[in-house]
Amino acid sequence: MDSTKKLPVAVIGAGPIGLAAAAHLLERGLEPVIFEAGPTAGAAIEQWRHIRLFSPWRFNLDAAAVRLLEASGWETPRLTALPYGGELIEKYLTPLAALPAITSRLQTGARVVAVTRAGMDKTHVRDRDTTPFTVRVHHGGGEVRDHAVAAVIDASGTWSTRNPLGTSGLPAIGENASADRISSPLPDVTGRDRAAFAGRRILVVGAGHSAANTLINLTDLAKDAPGTRILWAIRGASAEKVYGGGDADGLPARGQLGSRLRRLVNAGAIELHTGYNIAALNTLDTQVSVEAVDGRSLEADIIIPCTGFRPELEILRELRLNLDPAVEAPLELGPLIDPEFHSCGTVPPHGAKLLAHPEKDFYIVGMKSYGRAPTFLLATGYEQVRSVAAALAGDQAAADTVHLELPETGVCSTDGGSSCDVPSPGKAASEDTGCCAAPEPVLIGFPTGLSHGRTGGL
């Protein structure tokens, strides 16, 4: 960053990882400018504020952010408690974003639509590494501005780009045209979004824990909303993996939840359709018809897509990236987080070196750094941005010394299963060092995504 030292470092996204990046940059004497597309910090988490996290507070806080907060008299939450998404916002992200050091550098309603090098497209190599970046931002009111920055940290998450409903990774034919019949991925069906689901015929698509969580919540809704019908479509031939090990499950609460789901399906409260590969969606008068590849068809008032997420890469089109061909994570990170082999606690700590791209001083961090792998943890992201800030400040030794203190049991708890707390293949749950016993088992609060990234592959 030598020749562009006076310019700020752009941080894309004011989620937990973007804000932590800003805190680390400040500690390093660098100047962050944070662009957040939503109206407030934590805008993506706001969408799932009703979901309980599966890791306790002590793993959800960034050290540099805490140092900033403590200087302002902030009250530390109880470190062993499992917060809801809403609490993570109210007790941590909002106070952090409100600190003068952060708020003065945070632009909300500011959506980054492209990142490039000033005056050169991707094909130009001369002086590339020493040329500032241009970050193009759509600000509120239709204003578009180009910002010159020395480096870019993309912490924009994956929440806004869910996987499509269609088979083969493509949207089903007619999926886009049926958008008004498709809800957000984790609606609050018994609370904020109740009216959209009560008394309706609802199709949940996906075989992961978001699906399981949503299905159980829908059955709660159905108890006092007559006429609510719940359909569940999965690609696999059976839902056994979602049910987990039942009473024999190494994670008791997960077993309980899986057993509960199984009972609800067996009792007919949930109508399960297996081997259902979606080919097309046809919008009817008040419903949508969902056609399977094998000719079957289901009709629903509304579809809940629990199909996982993928990174939005179009804004980075003019940058020289090196991405894993399968996972779409930075190349060297890809194999380390391959969902076939790693549960969240077993992913080794990593930092700037592993996250680097051919595009110097550009990093993808946080949830987006995991590409399509669903096993990202906040604790991992906090170590990523500590290392990236050190690298940008020229402290290579600190950047390379990565450490992440996860206990033997991992940070995942037994909230009934999560994309992270499924044991690695071939191991009993109790043997898996990645995810084990929880301090406080809870019965709701699956995170999201599909177990080990297999989109509907059960």
Ligand X SMILES: Cc1cc2nc3c(=O)[nH]c(=O)nc-3n(C[C@H](O)[C@H](O)[C@H](O)COP(=O)(O)OP(=O)(O)OC[C@H]3O[C@@H](n4cnc5c(N)ncnc54)[C@H](O)[C@@H]3O)c2cc1C
- Judged by CB under 6 A, the number of residues near ligand X is 36
Helices in 53-160 by DSSP H: which ranges?
63-70, 85-88, 94-98, 100-103
**Considering the complex, what minimum distance in angstroms separates the CB of residue 55 from ligand X?**
4
Bridge partners (DSSP) listed for residue 232: 204, 272
Give me 252's structure tokens: 């008791």
**Separation of alpha carbons 144 and 397, rounded Å:** 39
For ligand X, the binding residue among 8, 95, 366, 423 (CB under 6 A) is 366
**Shortest Å distance, C-beta 321 to ligand X:** 16
What long-range pairs does 421-427 form, CB within 8 A, spacing at least 24? Answer: 421/54, 421/251, 421/254, 421/343, 421/344, 422/343, 422/451, 422/452, 423/250, 423/343, 424/341, 424/342, 424/343, 424/346, 425/340, 425/341, 425/452
- 43 touches ligand X (CB under 6 A): yes
Closest CA to 331 of 369, 374, 362: 369
Closer by beta carbon to ligand X, 43 or else 281: 43
Shortest distance, CB of residue 8 to ligand X, whole angstroms? 15
CB of 160 to ligand X, least distance (A): 6
Residue whose Cβ sits closest to ligand X: 15
One residue of 132, 157, 206, 339 binding ligand X per CB under 6 A: 157
Paired with 9 in beta bridges are: 32, 151
- What would the x/- binding string for ligand X be over residues 186 to 215, using CB under 6 A? x-----------------------------
Q: Tell which one of 378, 385, 422, 450 touches ligand X (CB under 6 A).
A: 378
- Which of the ranges 51-59, 171-179, 222-230, 254-262 carries the binding residues for ligand X, by CB under 6 A? 51-59
Do 240 and 451 touch, CB atoms closer than 8 A? no
The encoded tokens of residue 320 equal 């020289």
15 binds ligand X (CB under 6 A): yes
Q: What span, in angstroms and rounded, lies between the C-alpha atoms of 363 and 354? A: 10
Query: Within 171-208, where are the H helices?
Result: 194-197
| 382 near ligand X, judged by CB under 6 A | no
Q: Does position 156 bind ligand X by CB under 6 A?
A: yes
* Nearest residue to 384 via CA among 56, 126, 58, 18: 18
Nearest approach, Cβ of 315 to ligand X (angstroms)?
A: 6
Indicate whether 36 belongs to the interface with ligand X (CB under 6 A): yes
Sign for the CA dihedral angle at 96, 87, 432, 243 comes to negative
Decide: is 7 part of the binding site for ligand X (CB under 6 A).
no
User: Using CB under 6 A, which residues numbered 412 to 451 contact ligand X?
Assistant: 447-448
Among 13, 245, 351, 371, binds ligand X (CB under 6 A): 13
Q: Which of 38, 166, 311, 417 binds ligand X (CB under 6 A)?
A: 38
Nearest distance from C-beta of residue 296 to ligand X, angstroms: 30
- Asked whether position 159 contacts ligand X by CB under 6 A, the answer is yes
For 4, half-sphere exposure in the C-beta direction (CA atoms, 13 angstrom radius) is 24
Verify binding: residue 150, ligand X, rule CB under 6 A: no
Cβ neighbourhood burial of 275 (10 Å; 0-12, 13-18, 19+): middle
Q: Is 45 among the residues that bind ligand X (CB under 6 A)?
A: yes
Using the minimum distance from each CB to ligand X, give the nearer residue, 20 or 288. Answer: 20
Q: How far is CA 105 from CA 63, 85, 333, in A?
A: 19, 24, 30
Judged by CB under 6 A, the residue of 11, 32, 35, 69 near ligand X is 35
111 binds ligand X (CB under 6 A): yes
Let me know: does 262 contact 246? Beta carbons within 8 Å: yes
Question: CB under 6 A: which stretch of 16-24, 300-308, 326-334, 428-436 binds ligand X?
Answer: 16-24
Binding residues among 294-353 for ligand X as defined by CB under 6 A = 315
The reply to whether 282 sits near ligand X by the rule CB under 6 A is no
- Strand-strand pairing, 288-292 and 278-283: antiparallel
Q: If binding is defined by CB under 6 A, does position 377 make contact with ligand X?
A: yes
Candidate list 232, 376, 387, 417; residue touching ligand X; CB under 6 A: 376
**Interaction between residue 251 and ligand X (CB under 6 A):** no
Instruction: Please tell me the distance from the alpha carbon of residue 235 to that of residue 295, in angstroms, as a whole number.
Output: 14
In order of 169, 249, 430, the CA distances from 252 in angstroms are 34, 6, 11
Binding site for ligand X (CB under 6 A): 12-18, 35-38, 43-45, 48, 51, 53-55, 111-112, 155-157, 159-160, 186, 315, 366-367, 376-378, 381, 447-448
